[in-house]
């Protein structure tokens, strides 16, 4: 084995994140240990934390491993057109880059606003939009459950919870997906989303209602409108794409693994098991940027310098053999995965609950409405987006008996 100190940094990109990420993480751990030197686009250095215990340490110590991106020692080498700036940007007025007591106040504002969401209304909204999407495809006998369904559902539900009118939903879906895809239209999508959020805030200042935005505006911690717009955009993006991929990855598992076949005939218990297994084995959020070391320290046998960037290897930690000694699938009630993060900057628990309700409802509506659903292509032909950050399917083509809409 090559000594870790002599091993070259690993490029964080390429097709293997699409085709064989589990094997890639095993190789990284074998060759480099639990903290892996990596390079990002433009040969920008960073550390990828793959060890379960090391990731727990990083996410549990916000003073030593800060969310303050101003600490980064590489800013002088980062061009203005660096493609990862939207993900690893300079400090922005959102909860992502707020630290200390102000972050705790901000997280409490968001958690309180989401915790007040009525779970019955939430499920009703999710069922309504899911049924509408299935209505559009069920007479055809075939569809792509990613492009025609999973990629459209979470944002529609979230938009309603926040306070947007139903007719604004399709435009928000297009804008958010354009922004997340990072291709042509990404900037326009971001601008549409920001303008829509700002207008909603202005409307709710004049006419408060029983929605997330009104509750955030009523918070007494003194956050200004710019901060709330930024937080709403973060909440929308973080709530939509990972949830869409959770739906897609879970449906893929249930359609390709005999252990979950019962769910295709109306079972419910194995829906939850499939969803939990995806969070361990095929989590939508694979790697997250990031944390910055506030001083020199040691982590996993590595010397981390002040200002170094550390990337959170959520999927790598979930599959760490030191905590998964038997390599078994965890389909029971074990929720000790890192898929929602950990520590002060983890996904707020009410947001996790919202995502779970949307995802589970979305899956159950598919199984209820299309009971004889089956893959329309060989399972081995399904492809993933080649991103090292978010893991989801490009398409999930299925066929079923056409059902007329009454």
Beta strands at 142-144 and 397-399: parallel, antiparallel or unpaired: antiparallel
Contacts of 199-206 with CB under 8 Å at 24 or more apart are: 200/162, 200/163, 200/164, 200/232, 201/225, 201/228, 201/229, 201/232, 203/163, 204/163
pLDDT for residue 23 is more than 60: yes
pLDDT at 404: 84
> Are the CB atoms for 257 and 150 separated by under 8 Å?
no
pLDDT at 2: 42
Phi, psi of 144 (to 5 degrees): -105, 110
Beta partners for 292?
A: 66, 309
Average pLDDT over residues 1-23: 74
Q: What is the DSSP string of 313-335?
A: EHHHHHT-TTT-TT-----SS--
CA gap 239, 223 in Å, rounded:
21
> Are the CB atoms for 348 and 110 separated by under 8 Å?
yes
The alpha-helical segments, DSSP class H, found in 90-207 are 100-115, 119-137, 153-162, 169-181, 186-206
Residue 326's CB: how many other CB atoms inside 10 A? 6
pLDDT for residue 6 is more than 60: no
Residue 248's CB: how many other CB atoms inside 10 A? 31
Give domain limits for the chain. 4-399
Give the pLDDT band (50/70/90) at residue 184: low
pLDDT digits (tens, 9 = 90+) for 258-297: 888 655 555 556 888 899 999 999 999 999 988 999 999 9
pLDDT digits (tens, 9 = 90+) for 297-336: 999 999 999 999 999 999 999 999 888 766 565 556 677 8
> Which whole-number Å values give the CA distances from 236 to 155, 196, 233, 346, in the listed order?
7, 12, 5, 16
pLDDT at 258: 82
pLDDT at 238: 87
pLDDT at 1: 36
pLDDT for residue 254 is more than 70: yes
pTM comes to 0.91
pLDDT for residue 4 is more than 80: no
**Residue at token pair 């897609």:** 248
> Are the CB atoms for 294 and 28 separated by under 8 Å?
no
Please, what is the Cα angle at 94 between 92 and 96, to 5 degrees?
90
Maximum distance among all alpha carbons in the chain?
67
Half-sphere exposure of 141 (CA within 13 A, CB side): 2
CA gap 51, 289 in Å, rounded:
16
CB-neighbour burial class of residue 198 (10 A; exposed 0-12, middle 13-18, buried 19+): middle
What is 4-399's CATH number?
1.10.630.10
Tokens encoding 196: 């829509």
> Are the CB atoms for 406 and 160 separated by under 8 Å?
no
């Amino acid at each position: 084995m090559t000594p870790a100190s002599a091993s070259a940094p690993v490029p964080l990109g390429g097709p293997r994140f699409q085709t064989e990420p589990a094997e890639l993480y095993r190789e990284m751990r074998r060759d480099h240990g639990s903290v892996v030197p990596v390079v990002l686009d433009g040969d920008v250095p960073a550390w990828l934390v793959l060890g379960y215990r090391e990731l727990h340490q990083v996410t549990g110590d916000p003073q030593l491993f800060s969310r303050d991106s101003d600490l980064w020692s590489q800013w002088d080498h980062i061009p203005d057109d660096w493609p990862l700036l939207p993900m690893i940007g300079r400090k922005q007025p959102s909860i992502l880059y707020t630290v200390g007591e102000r972050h705790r106040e901000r997280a409490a504002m968001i958690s309180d606003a989401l915790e007040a969401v009525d779970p019955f209304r939430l499920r009703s909204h999710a069922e309504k939009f899911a049924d509408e999407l299935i209505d559009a495809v069920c007479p055809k006998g075939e569809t792509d459950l990613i492009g025609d369904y999973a990629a459209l559902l979470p944002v529609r539900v979230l938009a309603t919870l926040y306070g947007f009118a139903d007719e604004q939903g399709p435009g928000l879906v297009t804008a958010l997906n354009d922004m997340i895809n990072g291709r042509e239209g990404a900037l326009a999508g971001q601008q549409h989303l920001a303008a829509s959020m700002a207008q909603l805030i202005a409307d709710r200042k004049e006419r408060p209602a029983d929605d997330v935005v009104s509750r955030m505006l009523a918070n007494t911690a003194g956050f200004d409108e710019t901060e709330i717009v930024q937080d709403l955009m973060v909440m929308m993006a973080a709530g939509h794409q990972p949830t869409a991929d959770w739906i897609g990855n879970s449906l893929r598992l249930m359609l390709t693994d005999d252990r979950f076949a019962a769910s295709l005939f109306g079972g419910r218990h194995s829906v939850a098991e499939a969803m939990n297994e995806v969070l361990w084995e095929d989590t939508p959020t694979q790697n997250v940027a990031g944390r910055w070391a506030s001083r020199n320290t040691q982590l996993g046998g590595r010397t981390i310098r002040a200002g170094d960037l550390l990337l959170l290897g959520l999927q790598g930690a979930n599959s760490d053999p030191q905590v998964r000694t038997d390599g078994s699938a965890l389909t029971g009630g074990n929720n000790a995965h890192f898929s929602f993060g950990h520590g002060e900057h983890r996904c707020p628990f009410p947001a996790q609950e919202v995502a779970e309700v949307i995802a589970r409802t979305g899956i159950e509506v598919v199984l209820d409405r299309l009971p004889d659903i089956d893959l329309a292509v060989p399972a081995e032909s399904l492809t993933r987006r080649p991103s090292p950050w978010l893991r989801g399917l490009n398409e999930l083509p299925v066929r079923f008996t056409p059902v007329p809409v009454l």
